[in-house]
Structure 1
Amino acid sequence: MGLAGVRIVLVEPAGPLNVGAIARVMKNFGLAQLVLVNPQCDPLSPEAMRMAVHAKEILESAVTVPSLPAALHGCVRAIATTGRASDGDLPLEHPKIALPWLLEEIGQPSALIFGREDRGLSNEELNYAQRFIRIPTSPDYLSLNLASAVGICCYELAQSTVPIEPQTTCKQEFASIELVEEFYQQLEALLLEIGYLYPHTATSRMEKFRQLYNRAYLQTQEVAMLRGILRQVEWAINHQRDL
């Protein structure tokens, strides 16, 4: 099922604007199952529909149930979100770490549970989840808007399904140490010739150039370009002397 098998469960949502915004962000990231537990607002109200924009079908297909157990019927895994600080009895995890777990049971539905806007989930409701997450926020303002919290979690869920593909279209050929060393020797000789370096300080000054270019992880073509510049400068110097 993947993302299609994850239910976003809202317990007693009170704000139609929040519900509409949640439907929109769900569609943004490929989730479609919205379950409302005893909603305190009309999920089909003009306000909710207006906020949903092009995700109205998620509101129209949302399932309304009287209790959290009913919302979790058939699910094999459930994660609850909370804004509480960890007290030892409730092991809180980072969303990035815990959320991919919802997708591991292929073909089986799972649920991500969000509490009320004003007070979150009760202790009894938390007991229905197997794992718990808390979105890290600034200590200056800990409270997070419900729709924002859902959006962050939907994003993290979606990111966990994106395969990391090897870089094949832009293959980088890094220059060998020997090739880069030849460039350094050519650079040092030129800088000594034009008086930028002095023999007694050349070694220490060249260390700075080595550090600079080593940080760039030069590619073979880039070394060839730099050495071409040095050769042109050498030619210009010699040509000027012949005049």
Structure 2
Amino acid sequence: MALAGVRIILVEPAGPINVGAIARVMKNFGLHQLVLVNPQCDPLSIEALRMAVHAKDILESAVIVDTLPAALQGCIRAIATTARVRDWETPLENPRTALPWLLEIPDLPAALIFGREDRGLSNEELNYAQRFVRIPTSENYPSLNLATAVAICCYELSQNTEQPETPIPSQTEFAPLELVEVYYQQLESLLLKIGYLYPHTAASRMEKFRQLYNRAQLQTQEVAMLRGILRQLEWALEESQEGKGAEEHRGREAEEDKNN
């Protein structure tokens, strides 16, 4: 079943009761992979285990990591939940329309990311996702409990487990997120070096590049090609600088010979 490939990622959850309730609702709807990023509570505490009821196995098998990139290791697609409207061209989507994208390929490693109870995900953390969902709520009281938000998304995922009519390319063609992230770091470094980016605006500018490549859904060989281009540009830049340095050195020697 496609649900088997979906990770529910909680970033710095603080409430053991929430974590227990999330384990329970995951089991209700057939999801089993729970990943906790730097949890601020004990996921195996009495409160969490009591709230999980018959989903204690999900708590016991939960993976604990220090960072969001570590939680996303091996994933091909990632959707983040957020309640904040961002100054991005990437829209905030309804879970019902966006979440089926995670299930298009059976057993495709994919992730659904949830933020902290009090402040959600940071802008930097949102950068690791390719699409973004916002659960529509009443304007009179828009704030949702974390476990409730996870429950709604798990339900929507469970309603979309049928195979798509249009064949999807093999998952091996898609680049894992950590490989694309290496490319982003390499691209940012080069753009800073040539002066296209400036340190104080690099983060916002790189967000635009992430949006562009996220829409493209890069394949592994495409990332390899793009990284190869960057390496060649870096080499050419170094050669140019070395050549310029050698020319300046020869110029200084000629000037010294002339003066002597």
TM-score (ref. length: structure 2): 0.61
In the TM superposition, 1:169-208 aligns within 5 A as none
Q: Deviations over 1:128-150 (max 9, x none)?
A: 00000000000000100000000
Larger radius of gyration: 1
Q: How does 1:68-87 map to 2 (within 5 A)?
A: 68-85=68-85, 87=87
> How many residues matched?
163
2:11–2:114 Cα contact (<8 Å) kept:
yes
* CA drift at 1:106: 2.6
The answer for the alignment partner of 2:113 in structure 1 is 113
Matches within 5 A, 1:28-47: 28-47=28-47
2:130 aligned partner, one-letter code: Q
Please state which structure has a larger fraction of its residues in helix: 2
Provide, for residues 139-162 of structure 1, a one-character-per-residue CA deviation record: whole Å limited to 9, x for no partner: 000100000000000000001126
Paired position in structure 2 for 1:195: none
Code of the aligned partner of 1:126: L
- Post-superposition shift, 1:84? 1.0
Instruction: Report the Cα offset of residue 85 of structure 1.
Output: 2.8
- Supply the distance in 1 between the matched residues of 2:71 and 2:105 (Cα, whole angstroms): 18
Q: Which residue of 2 aligns with 1:18?
A: 18
SS in 1 for 2:111: strand
Give CA deviations for 1:183-213 in whole Å, capped at 9, x if unaligned. xxxxxxxxxxxxxxxxxxxxxxxxxxxxxxx
Q: How does 1:10-159 map to 2 (within 5 A)?
A: 10-85=10-85, 87-159=87-159
- Give, in angstroms, the shift of residue 107 of structure 1: 3.1
**1:105 deviation in Å?**
2.5
Taking the aligned partners of 1:115 and 1:90, their CA distance within structure 2 comes to: 19
Q: CA deviation at 1:90?
A: 4.1
Give the CA deviation at 1:122: 0.3
Identity of aligned pairs, percent? 78
Match of 1:84, as an amino acid?
R
Q: Distance in 1 between matches of 2:6 and 2:28?
A: 14
Amino acid aligned to 1:131: R
Distance between the aligned counterparts of 1:114 and 1:2, measured in 2?
20
Give the distance between the partners of 2:54 and 2:91, measured in 1 at CA: 37
List structure 1 segments (4+ residues) > 4 angstroms apart after TM superposition: none
Code of the residue aligned with 1:75 in structure 2: it is C
Long gaps (5+) in structure 1: 164-243
Q: In the alignment, which residue of structure 2 is the partner of 1:161?
A: 161
Measure, in 1, the Cα distance between the counterparts of 2:95 and 2:138: 16
Write the letter of the residue equivalent to 1:125.
E
TM-score by length of 1: 0.65
- Alpha-carbon distance, 1:86 to partner: 5.0
For residues 56 and 95 of structure 1, the distance between their equivalents in structure 2, rounded to whole angstroms, comes to: 27
